[in-house]
Amino acid sequence: AQSVAQPEDQVNVAEGNPLTVKCTYSVSGNPYLFWYVQYPNRGLQFLLKYITGDNLVKGSYGFEAEFNKSQTSFHLKKPSALVSDSALYFCAVRDKSNTGKLIFGQGTTLQVKP
Does position 49 interact with other proteins (CB under 8 A)? The reply is yes
Q: Which position among 11, 21, 44, 112 is part of the footprint of other proteins (CB under 8 A)?
A: 44
Contacts of 98 (CB under 8 A, 6+ apart): none
Least Å distance, CB 20 to other proteins, is 21
Least Å distance, CB 33 to other proteins, is 10
Strands (E), 15-63: 19-21, 24-26, 33-38, 44-50, 56-58
Stretch that binds other proteins, among 12-20, 64-72, 75-83, 95-103 (CB under 8 A): 95-103
Return the DSSP state at 54.
Answer: -
Q: Which position among 29, 40, 53, 100 is part of the footprint of other proteins (CB under 8 A)?
A: 100
Q: 96 - beta bridge partners?
A: none
Least Å distance, CB 108 to other proteins, is 11
Pairing of strands 108-113, 10-14: parallel
